[in-house]
Every structure is written in C-alpha cells, then in structure tokens.
Amino acid sequence: MKLKTLEIPLEIQNRLNLCKNTLAKKCFSLILEKKSNLVLTLDLTQTQDILEQADSLGPYISILKLHVDIIEDFTCEFINNLKSIALKQQFLIFEDRKFTDIGNTVAMQYEKGIYHIVEWADIVNCSVLPGEGVITGLKKPINNRERGLLLLAQMSSKGAFTSPDFIKKNLELSERHADFVFGFICQEKLSNNPAMIHMTPGVKLKEGEDKLGQQYNTPEKAIFERGSDMIIVGRGITESNSPEFAAKEYQLAGYEALLKRSEG
Ligand code: 5BU
C-alpha cells in the first residue's frame, strides 16, 4: 500500500488558489501537504484515549473531529494537551456540536458553559433550521480568532430530512456568510463555488449500516462518484484491530479517489 507521492490533485491546488476564507485555505493546504482528505472522528469518552489516538493517528489526517459532550473526564488540561498534539501533528480541530437554536443561545453555547468551544475548536457546524440568526449568533463570540463554520446540509442517517428547498437555503446562506462558512457536511457535492469544501460522514471501506440507522458509503463513492472533498471516518478506524493501519488505509482510499477525480 503506497501513495502516489509525486501526484497532487490539481483540482485542490486550483481551489486553494481561488479561496479567500482562512479555514478553507488551511484545509486545502493540509490536504495537499499531508496527502490526506481524511477527517478522523474520535467518539471516545476518556481523554487519555483521545489524546493517544490523536497523537498516533495524527500523521494520517487533516482534521480531528470530536463530540466534547460525550467525554466523561473533561478538563481544560485535556484541551491544552489536544492543542499541542494538533500543532505537532498538524491537524485542525472540529467540534461536531451541530448548533441549532436562536442566535442568542448559540452564541452562549459556543462561548460559555464548561467547554468554551470557541476558544479551541477551529471548526464547528450548525443546522440552518432556525434561520440566518444561527450563523450571525455564532459569529458574535469569535472576535479575531480564525474560525470556520460548516452547514449541516445533509445527514448520513436513514430517513434524514433533506428537501431540495432546505439544501437551497443552505447554499444561499453559505454565500451570504462566506467570511465564516467555508463548506458543508453533506452526502454529495452541493455547491459550485470552488472555495466551499464538502465533508461526508457515514464512510467505511465496506458499504452497509449500523444498528441505529447510520448508513455507510465507501470513500470511492463519496469522493469520486458523489464529488465530496473529505471523508469523515470514526468506527471504521477506531474499532479496527489496528487503528493505525486502518487510518493509513482510509487516507489512501480517500486521497486516491480525489486523484482519480482530478485526473478525470
Ligand atoms: P462513524 O463511527 O464513522 O459512524 O461516525 C460518524 C461520525 O460522524 C459521528 O461522530 C457522527 O456524529 C457524525 N455524523 C454522522 O455520522 N452523520 C451525519 O450526517 C453527521 C455527523 Br452531520
């Protein structure tokens, strides 16, 4: 198993040159530098496990995604340690908080409580179900930090509600707030704006379903056939016998699919 080290996906290089959003630039640069369009999701409940996996799998990923509210022994020290690992291993931190409330509430959820998410998460996401206020609310606590927002346009789970109108609204709002919004969580390419990044969860090397309605597509299907840019993978890696071997496999599968698309 070897990456074609000399090849780069020209499409990503071109899009990097076109985009102005800082987080989009960072993502495109990481994809090219690390030859990885892999977002690892560490849905683990113990901080030590998260830190160990983040450090050992860090070389193969561009983004680490968390659900901070499932952690049972959360401390500020954990965040400091995670930030050091992110710096050492060169990945961005994405808190999958899925903000969905009125602007005033999401602003507080982003900044306050025990987690102070705005202080450490480079990337967060929200649903536009509440309307534009959810985005303007999330902008409030940012100040001059470099932060990016992804819109939750489509979900991977069975029976997820996604009407064409809802997707259209996501596209409109992404353009209106392109200083902050730099892409989508989705199941296929939605935007023709080359600066917008598409990230897809529900990815495994083998298609299938879990027992609670999660549906899986392969990296090839997500990236090559459906035109997404990054794959989000959790249990495919964390529950394998060798997470390091699996992370390399997903890195290779995701990046090869991107190369294949760029060539085509
Ligand atoms: P998995 O172990 O690869 O199934 O984990 C998928 C992760 O992506 C998990 O953290 C979910 O919360 C997250 N996710 C998802 O699976 N599907 C979606 O549509 C969205 C997020 Br949005």
Buried b (16+ CB within 10 A) or exposed e, 76-111: eebbebbeebbeebbbbbbbbbebbbebeebbebbb
Reported as a pLDDT band with limits 50, 70 and 90, residue 182 is very high
Rg (CA), the chain: 17
Instruction: Indicate if 98 belongs to the active site.
Output: yes
Reported as a pLDDT band with limits 50, 70 and 90, residue 262 is confident
Q: How far is the CA of 59 from the centre of ligand 1 (A)?
A: 21
Atom of ligand 1 nearest to the CA of 202: 16
pTM: 0.97
Q: What's the pLDDT score for residue 7?
A: 74
Contact 233, 21 (CB under 8 A): no
From 98, 140, 169, 189, active-site residue: 98
Atom of ligand 1 nearest to the CA of 203: 3
pLDDT digits (tens, 9 = 90+) for 207-223: 999 999 999 999 999 99
If you take atom 12 of ligand 1, which residue's CA is the nearest one? 96
8-state DSSP, 255: H
Q: What is the mean pLDDT of residues 147-173?
A: 96
